[in-house]
């Protein structure tokens, strides 16, 4: 597939679940130049296409997934995608970002974003393989845990897909439920999982074959990425995160000395404050992420470990829930 624009495809996938139809749209380069990507591009679509007073859990709410021009490029910290909709939790805007591989895979498939509208009468999931798009039945997935759904979809689509899904909480429209990508990354703010569940959309499975994103100055990008990687790795704050996990960044302003995270070994509790880093040795790395989480040794994780694995930014999210975010 030819990418005629630098940093983006000029292709948005619009899926109407009420009618069971999809279409590709081309917003035009002028839209990307003005709104670029991420939350601003998502807001462009949302504000143009929705009206005040809509029901967040109704079919008229839009669930928008958007990448950016740098998603899928070898720049640390840029493997991001945004999920935006009207929040069932606050009645305001739900704007949630996540890292990991799913956003990059969507870009590799030749899409800059997805606009989901309407609501299906029966559970479905979306399958995207480059320009092949299918709305498939998810009746056999409904009611199952995220780990079970992940395993079923990986067996159904063995071509190394990336999977984004809501869980049982989203199915039951719990107003603070999240969306997870590959069981390790989360869009966890505003109740976006409840909106996904209200549309009876259980998962979005993506596989892309366009692994290189065309940029205006690829050589310059590589030089900057190399310089940035070398500079960041030597920074003391990054090396500290590497050794003890990213919650160390919260330690100066957290007034509760008992922050603990559960490590992978036998459910033992390990504290970054004590310098015990054995629980962080095999935490999973992210796409384009320089800050290896506790070590770079390659290790094949069992299915049980993949399902149970936790992210190590949990305290950061918890602060917002107790008035500290």
Q: How far apart, in whole angstroms, are the C-alpha atoms of residue 255 and residue 252?
A: 8
Cα–Cα–Cα angle for 204, 110, 146, nearest 5°? Answer: 15
Instruction: Identify whether residues 137 and 272 lie together within a single domain.
Output: no
In sequence order, what DSSP letters do the residues of 161-173 get, joined into one string? -EEEEE-HHHHTT
Read off the pLDDT of residues 265-282 as tens digits, 9 standing for 90 and up: 444 444 434 444 444 343
Read off the pLDDT of residues 296-320 as tens digits, 9 standing for 90 and up: 444 444 444 444 444 444 444 443 3
Instruction: Identify whether residues 202 and 64 lie together within a single domain.
Output: yes
Instruction: Identify whether residues 156 and 266 lie together within a single domain.
Output: no
Instruction: Identify whether residues 166 and 262 lie together within a single domain.
Output: no
Q: What does the pLDDT average to over 230-255?
A: 60
Quote the tokens at residue 269. Answer: 């509790």
Domains held by the chain: number: 2
0.75 exceeded by pTM: yes
Instruction: Identify whether residues 197 and 305 lie together within a single domain.
Output: no
220 occurs within a structural domain:
no
Which letter, b or e, does each residue of 229-249 get, where b requires 16 or more Cβ atoms within 10 Å of its Cβ? Answer: eeeeeeeeebeebbebbbbbb
Q: Which domain holds residue 271?
A: 235-321
Read off the pLDDT of residues 27-56 as tens digits, 9 standing for 90 and up: 999 999 999 999 999 999 999 999 999 999
Last residue of some domain: 207, 227, 261?
207
16 occurs within a structural domain:
yes
Cα–Cα–Cα angle for 102, 39, 81, nearest 5°? Answer: 10
Strand partners, 14: 23, 115
17 occurs within a structural domain:
yes
Give the domain CATH number at 61: 3.60.9.10
Q: What does the pLDDT average to over 10-19?
A: 98
93 occurs within a structural domain:
yes
264 occurs within a structural domain:
yes
Residue 16 has pLDDT above 90, yes or no: yes
**Which residue matches tokens 């007073």?**
53
């Amino acid at each position: 597939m030819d990418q005629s624009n630098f940093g983006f495809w000029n292709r948005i996938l619009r899926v109407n679940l009420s009618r069971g139809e999809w279409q590709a749209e081309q917003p035009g380069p002028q839209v990307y130049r003005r709104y670029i990507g991420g939350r601003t591009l998502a807001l462009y679509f949302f504000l143009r296409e929705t009206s005040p007073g809509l029901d967040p859990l109704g079919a008229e709410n839009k669930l928008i997934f958007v990448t950016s021009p740098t998603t899928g490029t070898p720049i640390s910290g840029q493997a991001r995608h945004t999920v935006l909709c009207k929040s069932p939790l606050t009645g305001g805007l739900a704007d949630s970002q996540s890292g990991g591989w799913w956003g990059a895979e969507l870009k590799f498939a030749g899409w800059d974003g997805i606009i989901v509208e309407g609501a299906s009468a029966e559970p479905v999931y979306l399958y995207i393989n480059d320009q092949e798009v299918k709305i498939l039945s998810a009746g056999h997935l409904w009611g199952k845990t995220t780990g079970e759904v992940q395993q079923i979809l990986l067996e159904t689509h063995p071509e190394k897909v990336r999977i984004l899904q809501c869980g049982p909480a989203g199915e039951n429209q719990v107003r603070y439920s999240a969306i997870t990508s590959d069981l390790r990354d989360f869009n966890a703010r505003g109740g976006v999982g409840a909106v996904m569940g209200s549309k009876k959309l259980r998962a979005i499975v993506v596989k892309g074959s366009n692994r290189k994103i065309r940029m205006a100055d690829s050589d310059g990008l590589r030089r900057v990425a190399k310089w940035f990687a070398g500079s960041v790795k030597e920074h003391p704050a990054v090396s500290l995160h590497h050794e003890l996990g990213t919650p160390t960044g919260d330690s100066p302003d957290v007034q509760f000395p008992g922050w603990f995270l559960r490590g992978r070994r036998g459910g033992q509790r390990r504290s970054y404050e004590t310098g015990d880093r054995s629980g962080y040795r095999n935490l999973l790395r992210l796409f384009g992420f320089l800050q290896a989480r506790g070590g770079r040794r390659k290790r094949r994780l069992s299915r049980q470990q993949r399902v149970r694995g936790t992210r190590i930014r949990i305290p950061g999210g918890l602060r917002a829930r107790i008035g500290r975010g």
